Amino acid sequence: MGSVSTNFVLIDGEKQEVYSSYLRTMGQPINTVKEGLSGVGDFVGGGQIAGVGVTGSGRNLAAVLLGADVVKNEITAHAVAAGNTCPGVNTVLEIGGQDSKLIILRQGVVVDFAMNSVCAAGTGSFLDQQASRLGIPIEEFGGLALQSENSVRIAGRCSVFAESDMIHKQQMGNSLPDIIAGLCDALVRNYLNNLAKGKELKAPVVFQGGVAANAGIKRAFEQALGMEVLVPEHYGVMGALGAALLAHAQPDNKSSNFLGLGISEMSHRSRSFYCSHCANNCEIVELACEDRVLARWGGRCGRWSELACKDIG
């Protein structure tokens, strides 16, 4: 569960992906989880889910909703998925809608990583903004970039400056493909300057995340790194795939905490309130299902989290 999308991956006993879905979260994470789980239920039919893993920025919420067996950060999940897809991978480039990651592996072990979650200039939202400004569908962005014969240089350190520079290049008469290729180069330059400084990027290099669908970004990475960049088949749901693989690795004799496919039919609600018990005045977020509180977040002292799973009075 990320800020932009909520993804589901179902693997079988041989760790092969048999089902996946990519859903836009649209600011409604609870409803999106239930929608995705409903799709899984339709696919499974009378089958049984043996275990559940969750990851992403919304992993704690997803874990409570589903009854997850494994809750892991995105770095671990993406590294596991990349290693399973491309054995021997040494470098993982991951760019999502709101953040980007660089993961360095050696002999299957994560030895270093970096994340950018502050500036939009190195993320998928940067491309979405510029595509909207140019009036073209983001799905056509990569194909147009590949048509470029002379990529223009666009300032990519800041999304605001990049847009101003892009408008200037338009006014100078540069072609649309050249401008789009310049935007791809700017994103890659920003990514490498922010995340890769002082790090040795060795092949094989795997590029994953929603932005990996953009052929222009892939080419820009290959030109900047001077090596081939591999895009796995399930590039858009690699975090979910890693979470599923981590759940699969749990001991066979351990029963699952999964609450069942019927969750999608239950009534969930959330609310927030401020605790006046002390001067911290913490904002508490509460998640409930039917007449039970499932979890509370936001308190600094643990007062409210200790009261989770009690009947609502």
Element (H, E) at 164: helix 159-171
CA atoms within 13 A on the CB side of 312: 14
Averaged pLDDT, 274-298: 87
Helix (H, G, I), strand (E, B) or coil at 283: strand
**Measured between alpha carbons, how far is 2 from 9 in angstroms, rounded to an integer?**
14
For the structural domain made of 87-231, what CATH number should be given? 3.30.420.40
Could you report the per-residue pLDDT of 48-83, keeping only the tens digit for each?
A: 899 999 999 889 889 999 999 999 999 999 999 999
Hey, where are the domains in the chain?
5-77+241-265, 87-231, 268-307
**Measured between alpha carbons, how far is 209 from 72 in angstroms, rounded to an integer?**
17
Residue 157 has what pLDDT?
Answer: 64
Which of 30-34, 176-180, 221-225, 301-305 is the least confident region?
301-305
DSSP state of 150: S
Whether residue 264 is predicted with pLDDT greater than 70 in this model: the reply is yes
Which of 153-162, 195-204, 240-249 is the least confident region?
153-162
Look over the chain and give the mean of its residue pLDDT values, rounded to a whole number. Answer: 87
Residue 313 has what pLDDT?
Answer: 35
The rounded percent of the chain whose pLDDT value lies above 90 is 45
At residue 274 the predicted structure's pLDDT band, cuts being 50, 70 and 90, is: very high
Which is higher by pLDDT, 242 or 133?
A: 242
Could you report the per-residue pLDDT of 171-189, keeping only the tens digit for each?
A: 787 888 898 898 888 888 8
pTM: 0.85
